[in-house]
Amino acid sequence: MLKYYLSLFVLFTLISSTILGQETQETKKIFTFKIDRDIDPAMNRRVRLALEDAVASNADLIIIEMDTYGGAVNDADDIRTMILESKIPIYTFINKDAASAGALISIASDSIYMAPGSSIGAATVVNGADGAAAPDKYQSYMRSMMRSTAEAKGRDPKIAEAMVDEKLEIEGVTQAGSVVTLSVSEAIKLGFCEGEVRSIEDILEAQKIQDAELIVYEVSETEQIISFFLNPAISGVLILIIIGGIYFELQTPGIGFPILAAIVATVLYFIPYYLNGLAENWELIIFLLGIVLLAVELFVIPGFSIFGVLGIIFILGGLVLGMLPNEDFNFEFVPAADLFAALLTVILAALAAVGLVFWLTPKVNQWGAFSTITLASTQSKAEGYTSSFYSDQLLGKTGKAHSRLRPSGRVEIEGEIYDAYSRGEFIDQDEQIVVISTEGTSLRVKKKES
């Protein structure tokens, strides 16, 4: 009898434990996002935001869907580090290609799954100008990252290094003269892939994860707006507004609208590039220094000298550099296409701005919207309007500089002293001058030709 009751008690305990376990079991949260284009500062930012979102979502597992031919080594290193430091397990699903920087990122993950026909490898570092292999110091850096990453995840570091170094020869894997690129079956055989799957759902099935909550990372509206302003065409329009606004404000100081438009366009131009790690602080300083030099040229040192030339170069240089992921002015790994696109965008926008300025300037006064802030009518002498402080009889008179004109000063004409200014050039004391205009409160003069 005692055995009977004991058996019922054990059976009841087992059933209760099973039911209780089913009721308390939590649904696994699977967070997934894509690396489906070149590895660059923008992708670096996307991965960082996605991983932060995964942590905020209390995800149990992160799956990266990979399809990339690679990209910038420094950004790949950043992403690799983020994956290695993640407290949430990260799997990579290579949907097609994981080449170069993509291979490094994949090897950093805890598990790798590959779709039929996909590949991983070919991680030789190339420069951005012509696609040729980069100097050995960069290859050495990439080899060390591949080795250390493979070691950290229990994969063969020699094979990982051979994905970079074509000189390495591994028996049964590769011969000297070609870098390693693994197919699905080869990757499984050599421990660089856990299995061949066709979808993320197949990975969950292989891991025996049932009733999972799949969270797909979506780019926020803010990020979409940032991507919109990163479009070269939009950047070109913003550059046009920047240059045009600066010109009109310098020509008609005090109106406010042109400089306000230029400031807004400058913010919309630089902020997206800054957030994506393209524009650095020193590039913003170059741009602002260009504006200062141009202002000095126009207001402090009339004429057109080295300050004006440097101002224009610094402004255009800041705009170009802000679009490129260079490392301390090193463009060795900047793709030639990106460099060409940045230069072309800025140059065409600058030319368009100059053309717009010449076309728009005569028409501004004809617009009703500007009638309250500009003088659109002409007040001619024939109608009795004059701003001359001196008689027209002084026009054409000759004399000498009573003091040095820099460019304003005083002149002596027929024994009388008058306030005067030149057309921008400096006139030394006692040099011969001739009056070319009597309008205003000072005579306008120039050097008398001998």
> CATH number for the domain including 184?
3.90.226.10
Sign of the Cα pseudo-torsion (416, 422, 428, 432, in order): negative
Higher pLDDT, 162 or 272: 162
Identify the domain boundary among 191, 218, 245. 218
Both 389 and 343 in one domain: the answer is: no
Dump pLDDT digits (tens) for 282-297: 888 888 888 888 778 7
424: domain CATH number is: 2.40.50.140
375 in a domain, yes or no?
no
For the chain, how many structural domains are there in total? Answer: 3
- DSSP letter at 373 equals T
Most confident of 100-109, 214-223, 334-343, 428-437: 100-109
- DSSP letter at 325 equals -
4 in a domain, yes or no?
no
Most confident of 139-143, 275-279, 380-384, 439-443: 139-143
pLDDT at 62: 96
DSSP character string of 249-281: HHHSTT--HHHHHHHHHHHHHHHHHHHTT-S-H
Report the C-alpha gap between 214 and 217 in whole angstroms: 10
Both 362 and 279 in one domain: the answer is: yes
pLDDT at 194: 94
Count of helices and strands (H, E) across the chain = 14, 13
Enter the pTM of the model: 0.62
- DSSP letter at 66 equals E
Kindly tell me if the per-residue pLDDT of 389 is higher than 80.
Answer: no
Both 174 and 123 in one domain: the answer is: yes
Both 336 and 418 in one domain: the answer is: no
- Among 278, 268, 272, smallest CA distance to 320 is for 278
pLDDT confidence bin for 364, thresholds 50/70/90: low
Lowest mean pLDDT among 38-42, 58-62, 444-448: 38-42
Both 100 and 169 in one domain: the answer is: yes
Dump pLDDT digits (tens) for 333-363: 666 666 777 788 888 888 887 787 777 666 6
11 in a domain, yes or no?
no
Report the C-alpha gap between 26 and 24 in whole angstroms: 6
Kindly tell me if the per-residue pLDDT of 170 is higher than 80.
Answer: yes
The token pair at 438 is: 């009597």
pLDDT confidence bin for 239, thresholds 50/70/90: confident
pLDDT confidence bin for 278, thresholds 50/70/90: low
pLDDT at 60: 93
pLDDT at 317: 85
Higher pLDDT, 23 or 155: 155
- Using alpha carbons only, give the angle 296, 302, 306 rounded to the nearest 5 degrees: 60
pLDDT at 395: 85
3-class secondary structure, 143? helix
- Using alpha carbons only, give the angle 61, 63, 65 rounded to the nearest 5 degrees: 175
Kindly tell me if the per-residue pLDDT of 275 is higher than 80.
Answer: no
Lowest mean pLDDT among 161-165, 180-184, 221-225: 221-225
313 in a domain, yes or no?
yes
Both 340 and 270 in one domain: the answer is: yes
Instruction: Round the average pLDDT of the chain to a whole number and report it.
Output: 81
Both 58 and 196 in one domain: the answer is: yes
105 in a domain, yes or no?
yes
Report the C-alpha gap between 275 and 7 in whole angstroms: 67
Most confident of 54-63, 131-140, 437-446: 54-63
32 in a domain, yes or no?
yes
Both 176 and 36 in one domain: the answer is: yes
How buried is residue 48: exposed, middle or buried, by Cβ count under 10 Å (0-12/13-18/19+)? middle
- DSSP letter at 12 equals H
Q: Report whether 259 contacts 27 (CB < 8 A).
A: no
β-strand pairing of 398-401 with 408-413: antiparallel
Domain residues for the domain of 143 are: 25-218
3-class SS string, 168-224: CCECCCECCCCCCEEEHHHHHHCCCCCEECCCHHHHHHHCCCCCCEEEECCCCHHHH
Residue % of the chain over a pLDDT of 70: 78
Both 360 and 394 in one domain: the answer is: no
- Among 434, 443, 445, smallest CA distance to 390 is for 443
Q: Report whether 44 contacts 73 (CB < 8 A).
A: no
Name the CA dihedral angle for 176, 103, 224, 201, rounded to a multiple of 10 degrees.
Answer: 140
Both 246 and 214 in one domain: the answer is: no
Both 345 and 407 in one domain: the answer is: no
7 in a domain, yes or no?
no
19 in a domain, yes or no?
no
Identify the domain boundary among 335, 370, 405. 370
- Using alpha carbons only, give the angle 82, 88, 91 rounded to the nearest 5 degrees: 80
Dump pLDDT digits (tens) for 407-429: 888 899 888 888 888 887 888 88
How buried is residue 227: exposed, middle or buried, by Cβ count under 10 Å (0-12/13-18/19+)? middle
Identify the domain boundary among 346, 370, 394. 370
pLDDT at 86: 95
Both 410 and 439 in one domain: the answer is: yes
